[in-house]
């Protein structure tokens, strides 16, 4: 079963602009994680936010979490061509050990 759903499914922006991706989920979570996947390759962990946190930063990444709306957003500032990839949110629910992934946002940075 899928927990997270990313929005938009695809996003194209000019290099240097900011990119925002959203993730909605259905049940209460322990934590939420964001991953990046370059075309057909393994996923790479970007950032983790706990259910009691509202915002977290890591370099050019900013993640927010709104547990009342069951949603999270990932902001990439000053985008670069190398940011072109698919981005997935993944949730960890209370009561199980699984990392449940959404369907992803395909981000294209136009040089």
> Where do contacts with another protein occur on this chain (CB under 8 A)?
1-2, 30-31, 33, 35, 40-45, 48, 50, 88, 90, 92, 94, 97-104
- Nearest residue to 80 (alpha-carbon basis) of 49, 108, 51: 108
> What are the CA-CA distances from residue 4 to residues 32, 59, 105 (Å)?
9, 24, 11
Nearer to another protein (CB atom), residue 9 or residue 18: 9
Nearer to another protein, 15 or 24 (CB): 24
Question: Which segments within the chain are labelled E, that is strand?
Answer: 5-7, 10-14, 19-24, 29-37, 43-50, 55-58, 61-66, 71-76, 85-93, 100-101, 105-110
Supply the minimum distance, in Å, between the C-beta of residue 17 and another protein.
26
Nearest to 22 by CA among 109, 110, 102, 108: 102
CB of 60 to another protein, least distance (A): 19
Please identify, using beta-carbon distances, which residue of 18 and 98 lies nearer to another protein.
98
Q: How far is the CB of 28 from another protein (least distance, A)?
A: 12
Q: How far is the CB of 39 from another protein (least distance, A)?
A: 11
Reading the block at residue 102, the tokens are: 């959404």
Q: For another protein, which is the closer residue by CB, 15 or 22? A: 22
């Amino acid at each position: 079963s899928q927990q997270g759903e990313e929005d938009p499914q695809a996003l194209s922006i000019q290099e240097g602009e900011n990119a925002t991706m959203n993730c909605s989920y259905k049940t209460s979570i322990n934590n939420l994680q964001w991953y990046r996947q370059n075309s057909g390759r393994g996923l790479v962990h970007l950032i983790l936010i706990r259910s009691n946190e509202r915002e977290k930063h890591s370099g050019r990444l900013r993640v927010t979490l709104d547990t009342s709306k069951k949603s999270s957003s990932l902001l990439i500032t000053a985008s670069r061509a190398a940011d072109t990839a698919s981005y997935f949110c993944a949730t960890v629910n209370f009561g199980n050990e699984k990392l449940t992934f959404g369907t992803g946002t395909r981000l294209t940075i136009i040089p």
